[in-house]
Chains A and B, each alone.
Chain A
Amino acid sequence: MATLNLSAVTKSFGASTVLHGIDLNVADGEMIVIVGASGCGKSTLLRIVAGLETPTTGHVAIGGREVTRLEPADRDIAMVFQNYALYPHMTVAQNMAYGLRIRGTPKDEIARRVAETAGLLGIGPLLGRKPRELSGGQRQRVAMGRAIIREPKLFLFDEPLSNLDAKLRVQMRGEIRRLQQRLGVTSLYVTHDQVEAMTLGDRLVVMHQGRAAQVASPMEVWARPADTYVAGFIGSPAMNLLGGTLAEGGAAVQLKAGPLLRFPDGPRAGGDGRPVTVGVRPEHMLRDGEALVTVALDLVEPLGSETVLHGTLASGEVLTARLPGMVPAVGSAMPLAIPAEALHVFDAESGRRLDA
């Protein structure tokens, strides 16, 4: 159990820079989820923490000890890989015991800890099997067992659930979270799945093109996205982003799509005419209200308890709305209301959030 500190970590492969200075302080026992689209540098960041890659510049410290140039073996960490990376020629018990054997742990202690960990994960009956005789979910458990048996300072997870089917993924997600809370081990979890990120993390690091776009709790990221990338990435269906300009001295926004919306939480900086991007989540759209826009529907997805509508506004911008209940097909166009209190305002150029 330990803290983890990254300061100004950068990584370049030849001429291409994949990490542009990442700073991150992880508290003892905290679970941090690094989330981002593929190619955003999240796996590279995890591999730098693991010691499988060396940062081009910057420092990594685990438990206050500088480990930037240390081998993975000297960092006292454990990692769960996407493809599990079990040793194919060893049994489940041998797989779990490998790290302990290398550290010269006494045999009876190894046996005790293997039995204990297997019990914890419910893989006791599998101890004599080889990895090829296990199902995906069982392999996943063994990989977890191999990680926790050593009682490392830090857990690293590299998309551990992405090779499982949807049902198992939900189940394992819950188990990982329970286990992590019970053991209280500081963890770093990499995923591209925003649901995993929202449910697992104490805090999220949303990565975008080698930068940490936002580091905050899941609810904070959802409720107050730091920029348009985060706004569009977290939440499903993705947040609607509409163009507009400030009006009434910054107290309102004139949407390209038509309506004028007054900010209930106060005026934004910048004068009239400052171009902004306005975000509104599909689930916040209303069937009735003051600021109505007309949506030319091109797809209606009834999901039972709710209906997702996809369409185009008069301004040519696309809009998605998620409305409760069944929405009767009323023709090719329908009016929807944008609630002013659910607006997110971003600078049109930089994409940064503008607060009142």
Chain B
Amino acid sequence: MDRKVIFKGRALPMLLLLPQLAVTLVFFIWPAAMAVWQSLLQQDAFGLSTEFVGLDNFAEVVADPAWRGAAANTAVFASSVAVLALGVALFLAVQADKAIRGQRFYRTMLIWPYAVAPAISAVLWLFLFHPSIGLIGRALNAAGVMWDYQLNGNQAMLLVIIASAWKQVSYNFIFFLAGLQGIPKSVLEAAAIDGARPLRRFWTVVFPLLSPTTFFLLVVNLVYAFFDTFGVIHALTRGGPGKATETLIYKVYVDGVDNLNLGSSAAQSVLLMLFVIALTMVQFRFVERRVHY
């Protein structure tokens, strides 16, 4: 059935499109364009004069060891968050898919963390892992582990990874569960009759059939780790100790807001933007090809 509505003139459709276009323009296109423009400018320290410097900001950023350090941090951070969040979510989804009783309860409880604001989730983890007031932090120290994420960069990284991944597990869980429930039961039964034990069944049938979901989530999780983890890092470590947990997005904030180096900050955010655009394009290409049925 053709549900398309045909408008006679052009005025009404234009008018109906206007609100959405306006929102996109004001909140997405305009700031993005401003960032690109800013990235080509340089201001003096007092903000009195601005000059056009072409791609100098970019050259400076890429050559800066601090930026490279942040890029390395981001690589470790983003891949760890993605792998951890995907792995835990997949495990939980498989368990929830098996559960017959209380499945809805289980599901609801697992989805909740997604509704928690990043700063609040960070505070939750802080209360758990703070070396002097945190439940687990104190227990670790009492057990003889030298735990203080405010001093130890690796521990700080571990903590922001866990806190960031925890929030994303819910999101991944929903998609994985839907993916699992989309696998025809008879296919699994056929595999069981063909002699495959549950673990073998998972790796040879379930996991390959979930691969489109997994790939989609991998991209979403990487984008999340790149951009949306600012709040967690800000509340937990502020990029410290030293620059141990300073990721690219956090450095954009520090350079732009704290150091007021707008040109460099804008150039960094443009680089990030390009990276995510590339990631999204890869995803569209790849996902279209890998759908099995």
Contacts and interface: CB of A to CB of B under 8 A. Distances in A.
Bind each other:
yes
Interface of A: 50-52, 71-73, 77-79, 81-83, 85-89, 98-99, 102-103, 130-132, 146, 150
B194 A81 contact: no
A51 B191 CA distance: 13
Most chain B CB inside 10 Å of its own CB: which residue of A72, A131, A146: A72
Contacts of B196: 73, 98, 102
B186 A83 contact: yes
Contacts of A50: 189, 193
Interface stretch (B60-68, B117-125, B197-205, B227-235): B197-205
Interface in B272-293: 292-293
Most chain A CB inside 10 Å of its own CB: which residue of B187, B195, B205, B292: B195
B194 A102 contact: yes
B195 to A, nearest CB: 4
B208 interface: yes
Given A88-B293, A132-B292, A99 B184 contact: no
A52 B189 contact: yes
A124 B51 CA distance: 71
16 contacts: A51-B192, A72-B192, A77-B193, A78-B194, A79-B189, A81-B190, A85-B184, A85-B187, A85-B189, A87-B190, A89-B205, A89-B208, A89-B211, A98-B196, A102-B194, A103-B195
Contacts of A132: 292-293
Interface of B: 184, 186-187, 189-197, 200, 204-205, 208-209, 211, 292-293
B231 to A, nearest CB: 39
B144 to A, nearest CB: 46
B187 A73 contact: no
B12 to A, nearest CB: 42
A87 B193 contact: no
B187 A102 contact: no
A81 B195 contact: no
Nearest to A80: B190
Nearest to A147: B193
B186 A81 contact: yes
A79 B195 CA distance: 12
Most chain B CB inside 10 Å of its own CB: which residue of A51, A77, A99: A99
A102 B211 CA distance: 21
A78 B293 contact: no
B292 A102 contact: no
A64 to B, nearest CB: 21
Contacts, number: 68
A236 to B, nearest CB: 30
B292 A89 contact: yes
A99 B195 contact: yes
Nearest to A76: B195
Q: What 6 A-B pairs have minimum CB-CB distances, sorted nearest first? A: A99-B194, A85-B186, A85-B190, A73-B195, A88-B292, A88-B293
Contacts of B209: 88-89
Contacts of B191: 87, 98
A187 to B, nearest CB: 14
Nearest to B200: A102
Contacts of B195: 73, 99, 102-103
Contacts of A73: 192-197
Given A72-B192, A89-B209, A98-B191, 6 more contacts: A73-B192, A85-B186, A85-B189, A87-B187, A102-B200, A132-B292
Contacts of B204: 98
Contacts of A98: 191, 194, 196, 204
A71 B192 contact: yes
A194 B108 CA distance: 47
A79 B292 contact: no
B205 to A, nearest CB: 6
B208 A79 contact: no
Nearest to B208: A89
Nearest to B187: A85
Contact of A79 (B193, B211, B293): B193
A88 B187 contact: yes
Most chain A CB inside 10 Å of its own CB: which residue of B189, B190, B197: B190
Nearest to B205: A87
Nearest to A71: B192
Contacts of B197: 71, 73
A131 B194 CA distance: 17
A335 to B, nearest CB: 52
Contacts of A83: 184, 186
A52 B189 CA distance: 7
Contacts of A99: 194-195
Contacts of B292: 88-89, 130, 132
B186 A146 contact: no
Contacts of A146: 190, 194
B14 to A, nearest CB: 41
A85 to B, nearest CB: 4
A82 B185 CA distance: 12
B280 to A, nearest CB: 25
Most chain B CB inside 10 Å of its own CB: which residue of A52, A87, A103, A132: A87
A190 to B, nearest CB: 14
Contacts of A51: 192-193
A73 B194 CA distance: 6
A86 B187 CA distance: 6
A98 to B, nearest CB: 5
A103 B211 CA distance: 25
